[in-house]
Structures are given as C-alpha cells and as structure tokens.
Structure 1
Amino acid sequence: MVHIFSPSNARSRVARLAVSTLTLAMVLALSGCASTPPPDGSMNQAQMQLQAARDADAQVYDPIDLGNAQDKFMQAQNAMAKRDYDVAAQLADEARASAELARAKARLGAARAQIQSKTAANQQLRDQIEQSLAEQQQQDQNQPSNLPPQEQTPDMPAPPSSALGEPIPQGQGFQTYPQNPPPNQPAPASSTDQGGHL
C-alpha cells in the first residue's frame, strides 16, 4: 500500500493539534480559576471586624492598628477585583486580625479612661470631705461653748487587797434566802413588816 502525502493532510493535522492544545490550555485555565472560589466569607468577616473596631472608638485609642486593618482590607478588595482570590483571602484575614486587635486595644483604652475618670472624681470627693471637716473643726474652735466646763472628779482609791480577801461580817452584804423555805422556818422580815408601806 502506498501512502500519498499531501500538503493539505499535514495542515489539517497541525490545525487539529493547535485546537486541542488551545482547548487543553483553556480547560486548565478555567480549572485553575474554579479551584479558588472568591473569599466572600473572609471579606465579610473582615468588614464586620472593621466596623466593630470603629464602633469601639479604635480611631481614638488605636489608630495605627485600625489604619493597618483598613489598608489590608483595601488591598484585599483590589485583589478581588483582579480575581486573585488567594491573595484576597490572605489580605482579608490579615485585615480581620488587625481590626480585632484594634478593637481590643480600644476597649482597653476606654476602660482605662473610665477608671482614671472615676479615680479623679473620688479624689475630688475626698478633698471636699477633708475641706469640710477642716472648716467644721475651725468653726467649733471659734465658737464659745454654752456648756459648763466639765468638773474633774477625784479618783477613788481602791480598797487594799487585804480587805478584799476578808469575809463579810454577818448582817452586812447580800444574803440569799431560799425561794420555798421549809415550813418550820419563819419567813424573813420585810420592809413592810418593819412599819414601811409600799
């Protein structure tokens, strides 16, 4: 069998090879784009954290980290526009982390400011109380007292220890009587029996 080689047959093979190569290149390019979806979730989280940091007054207490987060988020948006989703996802995560840091520092700064404010208010109250007490003492010293001067009473000497140890003579001191005396014992004399009337 004899093959006849014609130039048209070679062109068709080259054309088929070029078409198949282009088709393969397009399939690979599309599969590469399809393998990395847009990082919409990361972008949304970064945007929410940025808003939370702004709400916590991060522009006052931590403007550096807030600015860094905003810059990273803008870079992530630019990467999204270029469909460079891997870079966009990484930048969105960095923006979210910087925004969280800015928010935490802002909350800490606000708490410190509140503590300093309360401390200053407490000190002012202490100063007012001390001033009021000093004025009251000054008034008390300047006003004449209407009360008579207190007389000092002489101290009573304590009895000697020998007197404390002696027994009490009969008829002096306290005497106890049973509440229910025996029937053959006479009842003690009371003040009414001695002629006193109650």
Structure 2
Amino acid sequence: MIRKDLLIEIAEELEDYCSNESANGTLADFLNYMYLKNSIALTQSRKVGGDHAVVEGRDVPAEDLGKLLLMMNRYAKHYIKIAFEGSLLQTPEDFTYLMVLFSYDKLLQTDLIRKNAMEKASGNEVIKRLMRLGLIESAAKVDDKRAKPISISNAGRAELFKVLPKMKTVGNILIGNLSPEERDLLIILLSKLDHHHHALMDKKDVSELDQYLHRDSD
C-alpha cells in the first residue's frame, strides 16, 4: 500500500524544486537535487565567522564556495609541506610542473606554464628553480629558434617517483570523510570547474573581474 503522507511530501518537494530550481528538470535532475539537499542537511561544518556584524546583500553560496576553496588550498599546502620533507621539491608547483613534463617528451616553457595556469613571471621562477636543482633540462630546439623547450631530467624522474607515494597519501588525507560516491562526484565537479576556468585564463582581453562572469559562451 502506498503511503499518502509520503506522496504528499514528495509532491511538496517536487513543487519546491520546480518553483525554485528548474521547471524543466528531468527525474534524474530532481533526484540529484534531493540527494544534495539531504546531504547538505547532514553535513557537519565548523563556524568561522561571528554574528556581531551582519552584512547586507550577501551571496552566501558564492561566498562559502570561495572561502571553502581557499581553506582546502591551505590544508593541502600543509600536508604537501610534510610530504616534501627530505625532498628537493619545495612547493606544490614544483610537483605539478614535473608531473606535466613527465607526460611529454619535451614541452615549450610557455606551454608548461599555461598548462599549470600560472602567470608567466611566476612560472618562469618555478622553471628556473627546477633547472638549478637539475630536475629539468633544456631539450632539442624546435623550428622556432626563440622557443625554449625543456624536458624532465633523470634526476627529476627519480625525485618525482620518490614523492609520488607521499602525494598519494596526501590525496587520501584530503578525501577525508567523503564516501566513494561523494569523492567521485567531487572529482567530476572540480574537473568541470578546471576546464571552465582554464579557458577563462586564456582571455587576454579581460581587465575587470566582472567580465569573467560573461565569458561562458565565448
């Protein structure tokens, strides 16, 4: 026998979804909405700010996302610092630069910097540091004589393999108390955001922050 009270509750939730989220959503969309809604309700979180001053006109979800991404970056840096003890690597960028170079025979310096989504000046500093340490080396020139291709050295491969097990541990620590399903969903969402923002970083004509909000369809 179908419970009428449960049907009424589902109908109310569906009405709320159609009114506030999407009037054209599919069943799968609605089920995902309910899953996230209940997950949020059960999620434990810590309070950072106080209640002394109330800020009017806040966009709470957007602000929370920015804050949480910054906090996760700080946690990751803390764990990575421990992982790099006894290693020649000093920063997360050292690791990601070697990881990218490892997957190529050689790569132009400008391309390596772009793939790591860094400013040219900061990226060049990372490359210079890795070059001084002997972890990367100059590669054979390409047709454009002005271009500067580089590759990972044997010493760089050895250093990378030395820290890879620890970086795997860092990843498992960062996963924290997420279930396997939540972990996979987070990877999908972060990959989607990475794809979106990496394209935005290539927009050389953007000078104002608000302009980034209107570049989705470019």
Task: Normalising by structure 1, report the TM-score.
Answer: 0.18
Q: Which has the larger radius of gyration?
A: 1
Whichever structure has more strand as a proportion of its residues is: 2
